[in-house]
Structure 1
Amino acid sequence: MIKSVDKSNASPKTSGKKAKKAASSTSESQAAARKQRKGSRRLGELIGQSLTPLCRKQGFASADIVQFWAEIVGPQFAHCTEPDKIRWPRRGEGDGFHPGTLVVHCEGAQSVFFQHERESVIQRVNAYFGYPAIDKIQILQRPVRPRRTVQPPPLRAMTQAEEANLDNQLQGMENDRMAAALKRLGHAIAVKNK
């Protein structure tokens, strides 16, 4: 015969133990959440994670093409164009991969110039992806949201000792353009290391 236990008549000692156990598990989970929040993360990681689902809805595999659009199209079109989405063709059974169409918003008269550079932009986008992702670009004349460009703070001037050390290391360099590039790099390294 099985007896049923009436929980309303349970002793106060057992119900107090259960309450303490539940309270301690809650405080442990809150402490774990605080520890997790204390670690710092780069803003790029957080933004990239939040943008990726939105970009997938637009046909982009990730937010990278939106983030690096200025580097892909170059300074001529970075300020007046922005990618909107990639339209992929429907696949039937047995069909292989078919490249998509990149839809780009472009401002006014710049669309004529962008249209003439369409083939080179297709090559740059495909080079960025590493495979022939797109084969067409559809241009829509729409306003483009202005992008904020963050300029790095200017480098401080090198001290005479730092400049003499850098000139000594670059002595004997035959190519002037290479020497100038290495001097700029050396200047940036010397200033940031101190």
Structure 2
Amino acid sequence: MNSRPARKGAQQISEVANRLIDPVLARRAGINTMLLGSWDEIAGSAFADCSRPEKIAWPRRVSEMAGEDGGHQPGTLTIACEGSRALFLSHQQGELIQRINGFFGFPAIRQIRIVQKPVTPPARRRRPPRPLTGEAARHLDALVEGIEGDALKAALKRLGTAVLGQKGSKRP
């Protein structure tokens, strides 16, 4: 049975999604959605666009029978970083570890391991929309006819061409 009382009212979809995703991320990568979502602030503007946390490797717990307390030990955070910026990130490791530990509120990270690889997904090439012909082209021209600014008129024509040129769109 659930030990938490049921909440009344609406819940944000992000709260529901985080409750579903966090256990999977914790098992597979040792991280949570809060770290991923706050990475831009933690990494700062210099590294937010070229890096992302991948996983935290926690050391194996020492048995209490061996005389150790078996308490928490800081882990190693693996960060993916693009190309030559990884070198600059490596020079900022100390500060980054402090920021991450400040985020967690306890010394969670002992060291950082940087892996060079692409972080941003490759941009999909979009094909330019096919030009409108016939009644659709005349209708679009009539819609933008009263627009005075040339740049705005051109932008609206591009938008209209893309919308009216889509498969399944209702053409006039």
TM-score (normalised: structure 1) = 0.52
Instruction: Determine whether 1:87 maps to 2:57.
Output: yes
Instruction: Determine whether 1:59 maps to 2:35.
Output: no
Aligned to 1:134: 109
Aligned to 1:143: 118
Matched residues in 1 for 2:83 and 2:24: separation? 27
Instruction: Determine whether 1:125 maps to 2:95.
Output: no
Report SS of the residue matched to 2:115. strand
- The count of corresponding residues between Structure 1 and Structure 2 is 107
Matched residues in 1 for 2:30 and 2:79: separation? 13
Aligned to 1:98: 73
Unaligned runs of 5+ in 1: 1-38, 147-194
Aligned to 1:11: none
Percent identical pairs in the alignment equals 40
Q: What CA deviation, in whole Å up to 9, does each residue of 1:25-77 have, x standing for no partner?
A: xxxxxxxxxxxxxx6432321321232122212112x3210111111111111
Aligned to 1:71: 41
Runs of at least 4 residues of structure 1 off by over 6 A? none
Structure 2 letter corresponding to 1:86: I
Q: Which has the higher helix share?
A: 1
Structure 1 letter corresponding to 2:82: E
Matched residues in 1 for 2:92 and 2:37: separation? 21
Matched residues in 2 for 1:50 and 1:143: separation? 27
Report SS of the residue matched to 2:120. coil
Return the offset for 1:86: 0.4
Structure 2 letter corresponding to 1:70: D
**Structure showing greater relative contact order (alpha-carbon pairs closer than 8 Å, 6 or more residues apart):** 2
Matched residues in 2 for 1:97 and 1:41: separation? 33
Structure 2 letter corresponding to 1:129: F
Unaligned runs of 5+ in 2: 1-8, 122-172
Return the offset for 1:79: 0.6
Instruction: Determine whether 1:107 maps to 2:78.
Output: no
Aligned to 2:136: none
Report SS of the residue matched to 2:106. coil
Report SS of the residue matched to 2:90. helix
Computed over aligned residues only, the root mean square deviation of the Cα atoms, in angstroms, reads 1.5
Report SS of the residue matched to 1:53. helix
Matched residues in 1 for 2:101 and 2:24: separation? 21
Report SS of the residue matched to 1:83. strand
